[in-house]
Structure 1
Amino acid sequence: MKIDGPLAVLANPGAGRGRHRGVLPFVLAHLRAHGHAVEPLSASTAPEALAAAHQAVAEGAGALVVVGGDGTVHLALQALAGTGVPLAIVPAGTGNDFAGAAGFTTDPHAALARIDAALAGGDTSTFDLARLTAADGTVRWFGGVLAAGFDAVVNERGNRMRWPRGPIRYDLAILVELARLRARRYRLVLDGVPQERDAVLVAVANAGSYGGGMRICPAADPADGMLDLTVVRPISRTTLVRVKPRIYAGTHVTHPAVDTYRATRVELAAEGIVGYADGERVAPLPVTVECRSGALRVLTAG
């Protein structure tokens, strides 16, 4: 696939809590030095970034290069899904889970080398995306994981907290919600087959990790045309604390309280849960999630 048009570059200045602010100038200089026409997208807020990405795609960008983490990639997916315009990622966020799933190393130099090789050869691959439809008809695309249980509740509380600043507030949110831990009644419809069950955590994944390497759905493959689900049945606080470290290795799925499923279409409902996809607040449940095979094109070398 020949890459025509300029490279639109979308960056989040706050990605990685500011640690990677110097990456964007380096990326722009590198791409220009290698003879590419580059159009940095100007945006200081998420809505501005989303609008800029949509405009760049509509105006014929050859590819969209994201310099940032999962949140910035999530914005880019809203503009890229189903268009055929390829994505490239220079990981520069706190969490770079989708970048890893798509094959981009966390080292910016190595990521740029991959992008250079892909542009030289016009090499792209296709990946699946998850299409989420909320109760009000709003549609959001995500590449990684929809959190719809304890993890989503923690995110919701952490985002409401104004003190302390930084990641410690999410640690505090975990402690608060752990003390309030309770199972909720979920209605799941997997490829038309309904079930109702109590659970403390439900995750729906296109790619298997979130939160900076937590492999919540370790078997998920973003190119297999399927969604993976992990459901944690009612467990005690002590058991949850004991099982949580195993998520990084993906071995939590062997615990007797953990069930896994696969489906192409998932309907998910529960009271009092706001879903978070790719770490971003998306919609209150109920939601419907569908796997759209090959909806995303990604620059790949070789």
Structure 2
Amino acid sequence: MLAVTAPDHRDPTRPASTPLGDGPVAVLANPTAGRGRHRDLLPAVLARLEAAGRSVRLLEAGTAVQAQESCHAAVADGAAALVAVGGDGTVHLALQAVAGTPVGFGPVPVGTGNDFAVETGFPADPLAAAGVVADALRVGRTRPVDLARLTGPGPGTRWYGAVLGAGFDAIVNERANRMRWPRGRRRYDVAILVELARLRPRSYVMRLDGVEHRFDGVLVAIGNCASYGGGMRICPDADPADGLLDVVVAGAVGRGTLMRIKPRVYRGTHVDHPMVRGYRARRVELDAAEEIVGYADGERIGPLPVTVTAVPGAVRLLR
């Protein structure tokens, strides 16, 4: 069931496509993305970008902090474009530098989860995506899409491209990040089992364009795009070009019901369940009666409350 709280149409004030500047192309690459299985593709990706006839510079980034600093410095130094070779986490870091600027942005998906790249029309194959970016660089073309602007009790503004989770999935992520054993994917699987055993509804307060909703639930997702977690279509009707956010809430369900709903998320049919509700709004304010940490694009954001606003045309994609 979808409760629309704002008109469902494209924003007539959306920024038009603008030509690309004359500066160099900065490239942020994460060699560990996708467990390193695409590490050997970087030279080929760089070669495709260079074939577009622009100067290409690989950014130095040994840590996430250094990566974000390098992206901001490249934009400040006049880069015409920033290309992120990695997964959603790498994209998330790069978006912090290009959001709200005329700098072109191109994601080359080599991560475990590549939801923003795929949902905004880039091929899932890394070399094919690099080719799309190179074609746009060659003719100086960018196309605007929306981002979600995130503010909270802490300092500064964050941006995300895909989905913010603030329920069961975020709680699982928080536990997995605290665990030191087991390693790899099994750590996440163990965290799911632990949190399923502890599952209980939390009390939320949510305001959609100023209209208050109070509810008990086990899952809340705020989507600029439809999917997160590598293809889980949690907000299946989300469109990153409509100027709106899609919000999906799973109510006070038990373990059995949640486990029956979860497999349907990959098809996006979970929204047909009577305990799942969908909303649409330009501005979402979310808080909980107890501490819940939000995750956006798979990255830790911090505890609620947060305010999320859809910003039309906040990033200019190279496609």
Q: TM-score range by the shorter chain?
A: over 0.9
Deviations 1:130-174 (A, max 9, x none): 011011233110001000000000000011111111111111100
Relative contact order: is structure 1 or structure 2 higher (C-alpha 8 Å, sep ≥ 6)? 2
Matched, 1:145 2:163: yes
Q: How many residues align?
A: 300
Distance in 2 separating the partners of 1:218 and 1:20: 28
SS at match of 2:122: coil
Where does residue 133 of structure 1 map in the other structure? 151
Give the deviation of 1:37 after TM superposition: 0.8
1:123/1:188 CA distance change after superposition, 3 Å = same
Normalising by structure 2, we get a TM-score of 0.92
Give unmatched runs, 5+ long, in structure 1: none
Write out the 4+ residue segments of structure 1 that deviate beyond 2 Å after TM superposition: 29-36
Distance in 2 separating the partners of 1:96 and 1:289: 22
Give the deviation of 1:251 after TM superposition: 0.2
Matched, 1:200 2:218: yes
Give unmatched runs, 5+ long, in structure 2: 1-18
Superposition map of 1:7-18 within 5 A: 7-18=25-36
Distance in 2 separating the partners of 1:225 and 1:137: 25
Where does residue 291 of structure 1 map in the other structure? 310
Look up the equivalent residue of 2:66 and give its one-letter code.
Answer: E
Look up the equivalent residue of 2:127 and give its one-letter code.
Answer: H
User: What is the root-mean-square deviation of aligned Cα atoms in Å?
Assistant: 1.0
1:134/1:174 CA distance change after superposition, 3 Å = same
Where does residue 78 of structure 1 map in the other structure? 96
Where does residue 156 of structure 1 map in the other structure? 174
Give the deviation of 1:104 after TM superposition: 1.0
Give the deviation of 1:124 after TM superposition: 1.3
Distance in 1 separating the partners of 2:284 and 2:52: 44
* % identical equivalent positions: 63
Superposition map of 1:208-219 within 5 A: 208-219=226-237
CA contact (8 A) 1:126 1:294 kept: yes
Look up the equivalent residue of 1:138 and give its one-letter code.
Answer: G
Equivalent of 1:276, from 286, 295, 299?
295
Give the deviation of 1:3 after TM superposition: 3.9
Look up the equivalent residue of 2:307 and give its one-letter code.
Answer: T
Look up the equivalent residue of 2:233 and give its one-letter code.
Answer: R
Look up the equivalent residue of 2:111 and give its one-letter code.
Answer: G
Look up the equivalent residue of 1:23 and give its one-letter code.
Answer: L
CA contact (8 A) 1:229 1:261 kept: yes
SS at match of 1:22: helix
Equivalent of 2:130, from 112, 123, 143?
112
Normalising by structure 1, we get a TM-score of 0.97
Deviations 1:166-216 (A, max 9, x none): 111111100100000000000001100112110000000111100000000
Distance in 2 separating the partners of 1:67 and 1:115: 11
Deviations 1:20-72 (A, max 9, x none): 11122221233234432111000010000000000000111111011000000
Deviations 1:4-33 (A, max 9, x none): 111100011211111111122221233234
